[in-house]
Homo-oligomer: A and B are copies of this chain.
């Protein structure tokens, strides 16, 4: 009986001390990834190439529609510059998940892209995206993979 009570008390103690601490730390990481996603959108929307590039891991990849995969700084800079030239992009995350170990995460959501038509008119593209994030040695979240595609019928 004494033994069982001790076990119950020990479990209760672990539940109180470790449970919320892990959950709080985890919630904080989910918020950090959501914040990184929103901060990346802000500099991408403002067409700041250097700052947009800085959100990607050194081995990060962008998987752009109708274009081969872009991996590494030079290819990513070209891919981002093409996006900037094509129009103005806004996105909004609606899902985020982080591994228990806090080293890998994803975000997903919707985008709206105001495209510069060659005739001078603007067209609006809408679609969805998926981003995989990696926790760097300095504690920041960086993009390992980013991909988006259109909801609209193929033209």
Contact = CB atoms under 8 A, between A and B. Distances in A.
B99 A63 contact: no
Given A65-B65, A99-B100, A132-B132, A147 B144 contact: no
B67 A151 contact: yes
B99 A99 contact: yes
Interface stretch (A1-9, A39-47, A101-109, A112-120): A101-109
A90 interface: no
Interface residues of A, number: 33
A145 B106 contact: yes
Given A100-B101, A132-B130, A145 B108 contact: yes
A142 to B, nearest CB: 13
